[in-house]
Amino acid sequence: MVFENLIMQYKCLIIMKNTSIIGLLWLILPALLHAQQDAPAPQVSFSGYVEPYWLYDLGQPADHNRPAFIYSYNRHNEVNINLAMLKASVTHSRIRANLALMGGTYAQANLANEPALLRHLFEANAGVQLSKKHEWWLDMGVFPSHIGFESAIGKDCWTLSRSLLAENSPYYESGIKMGYTSSDNKWFFSLLYLNGWQRIQRVAGNQTPAWGHQITFKPTGRLTLNSSSYIGNEQPDSLRKMRYFHNFYAVIQCNSHLGLTLGFDIGAEQVAKGSGDYHTWIAPIAVAKYQINSSVALAVRAEYYQDKSGVIIATDLPGGFQTWGASGNMDVAITKHLLCRLEYRLLESKEALFTSKGKADKQNQMIALAFAANF
């Protein structure tokens, strides 16, 4: 029933697609003109971030690469940089813009399918506030993803490594975003028109519009509820297979020390063009963080990812991808600008998905040490 409703919503969006973009442009133009009147001087800020790390994979891969579905901290037994980023932000009256350039093993792995000139682009967008009285914004460009509670920036996540759920859903997206934040900051709504599932450049032969939504509710300072979706086609139109995806998570701050994050992904993609049959995948996760004091925090994670048909994570195994994981993490804040992190992680598959010293294995273990420095 969930996916039938999504299909109906998508058909309605298709009807509107020829007028929606033009309509948005007509909204932008008067807002831009009014924003320039009596505008104060632009405010410009610069920031930087770097994540050096050392990781040891007990499977000892000869090529030093972690499993192919891991995109962050993915190099074995070497000191490397997961993410290094420089960012500039500008605000001017009711206009805003961001530009962030990056390098590191994350960028190398996660943007491998983008054109070479775009692989170092972390963020590049500009937006206009459509109302003087309300936080109603229209932004366009490349953004961090609207899906999930984790991002590519490690210091903003409770664990050193990213979850299977985060690694295999979009980290970034390109498109147009209409967003509204309520006056009491309890609600956030957005509608997105996108180039595709984690894409800056569209698939050749694909003219199918992709859409997303996000609703975030913060009834109190201790609870955040989020619903995000994606509807689109990742194939040329001649082979079109619609993909329907939903992410839900809750962040619960139980007290001043203990926090819990619960998340669940579910997705479905057509077996073939025009088919009423779907391949599905699911990914539940739970993360707990305990803040011992102002400098030291511990976190544990339990997760599972099932993709039997290989829609997101392709394998040559009869049962596809069915893997659970657990990890333990310790963070030590050396200063407010430098975080030291240590993690042990175990992944176990239903079948021999991994390799250990050149042989097939059902388990994968790693330990990692990382710094997260911001300035």
pLDDT tens digits, one per residue of 34-69: 545 556 788 999 999 999 999 999 999 999 999 999
Closest CA to 84 of 47, 112, 129: 47
Q: How many CB atoms lie within 10 A of CB 293?
A: 8
d(CA 186, CA 342): 34
Q: List the structure tokens of 211.
A: 């859409």
Tell me: pLDDT of 264 over 50: yes
Region 76-103 average pLDDT: 96
Relative to beta strand 79-92, strand 172-181 is unpaired
Region 261-290 average pLDDT: 97
d(CA 152, CA 130): 29
Residue 77 Ramachandran class (φ > 0 left, ψ -120 to 50 alpha, else beta): left
Half-sphere exposure of 287 (CA within 13 A, CB side): 25
Do the beta carbons of residue 334 and residue 340 sit within 8 Å? yes
Q: Which pLDDT belongs to residue 316?
A: 87
Task: Tell me the Cα Rg of the chain.
Answer: 21
Of residues 283 and 2, more confidence is placed in 283
Task: Look up the pTM and report it.
Answer: 0.88
What 3-state class would DSSP assign to 278? strand
pLDDT tens digits, one per residue of 299-309: 999 999 999 99
Count of residues making up the chain:
375
Do the beta carbons of residue 201 and residue 195 sit within 8 Å? yes
Tell me: pLDDT of 19 over 60: no
Q: Is 37 exposed, middle or buried (0-12, 13-18, 19+ CB in 10 A)?
A: exposed
Region 237-259 average pLDDT: 97
Tell me: pLDDT of 5 over 60: no
Q: Would you give the end-to-end CA distance of the chain in angstroms?
A: 48
Q: Which pLDDT belongs to residue 10?
A: 42
DSSP 112-164: TTS-GGGTTEEEEEEEEES-SSSEEEEEEEEEE-SSSS--S-GGGSSSSSPPH
Contacts of 316 by beta carbon, 8 Å cutoff, 6+ apart: none
